[in-house]
Structure 1
Amino acid sequence: MALRAGTQWLARGRGRLMKRTTILYGSILAVTVVIVALASLRPIRVLPRIAPAPGFALTDQDGNRLTSDDLRGSIVLFDFTYLSCQEPCNRTTATMREVQEQLAAEPEDDPPVRLVTISFDPERDSVEALKAAAEAAGADPTRWTFATGDPDLMKLIVGRGFNVFYEQKPDGSFRFDPTLVLVDGWGVVRAEYRVGPPRAEHIVNDIRIVANEARKSRGPARLAYEATHLFVCRTR
Structure 2
Amino acid sequence: MVFSTVFFGAIAFAIIQPIKVLPRERPAPGFSLTDQDGDAYTSETGRGSITLYTFQPLDCTGECARIPDTMAAVFSRVDGEVNLSEIEFKMVTIALADQPSTSSLQQAAVSTGADGQRWSWLGGSWDQVKSLVGSGFGRYFDRVEPGQNAIGSVESGDITFDPGFVLVDGNGVVRGEYRYQTLSNDADKLVSHVGLLADEARLSKGAASLAYEAAHLFACYG
- TM-score higher than 0.5: yes
Q: 1:160 aligns with which of 111, 125, 135?
A: 135
Deviation at 1:88, TM superposition (A): 3.0
For the pair 1:176 / 2:161, whether they are aligned, the reply is yes
Deviation at 1:234?
A: 11
Shift of 1:99: 0.4
- 1:162-208 Cα deviation digits (max 9, x unpaired): 00101101222111100110000001111111142643121111000
Runs of 4+ aligned residues of structure 1 deviating over 6 Å after TM superposition are none
Structure with bigger gyration radius: 1
Which is worse superposed, 54-63 or 80-89?
80-89
Aligned residue pairs: how many? 209
Quick one: percent identity of the two aligned structures?
Answer: 43
Q: Does 1:117 align with 2:93?
A: yes
The equivalent residue for 1:188 is: 173
Following superposition, the deviation at residue 122 of structure 1 comes to 2.5
Per the alignment, residue 200 of structure 2 pairs with: 213
Counterpart residue number, 2:22:
47
Higher helix share: 1
CA distance in 2, matches of 1:105, 1:179: 24
1:101 is aligned to: 76
- TM-score, length basis structure 1: 0.82
Partner of 1:9: none
Letter in 2 for 1:137: T
**Secondary structure, in 3 states, of the residue corresponding to 2:33?**
strand
Structure 2 regions of 5+ residues with no counterpart? 147-156
Q: 1:169 to 1:203 in 2, by over 3 A?
A: same
Q: What TM-score does the superposition give when structure 2 sets the normalisation length?
A: 0.87
RMSD, aligned CA: 2.1
Unaligned runs of 5+ in 1: 1-22
- Map 1:1-236 onto structure 2 (within 5 A): 28=4, 30-106=5-81, 108-123=84-99, 125-171=100-146, 172-196=157-181, 198-232=185-219
Q: 1:186 to 1:27 in 2, by over 3 A?
A: closer
205 and 179 in structure 1: CA distance in 2 versus 1, 3 angstrom threshold: same
SS at structure 2 position matched to 1:218: coil
Shift of 1:111: 1.3
Q: Is the 8 A contact 2:165 2:180 kept in 1?
A: no
Mean CA deviation greater in 58-67 or 103-112: 103-112
Q: Amino acid of the residue matched to residue 113 of structure 2?
A: G
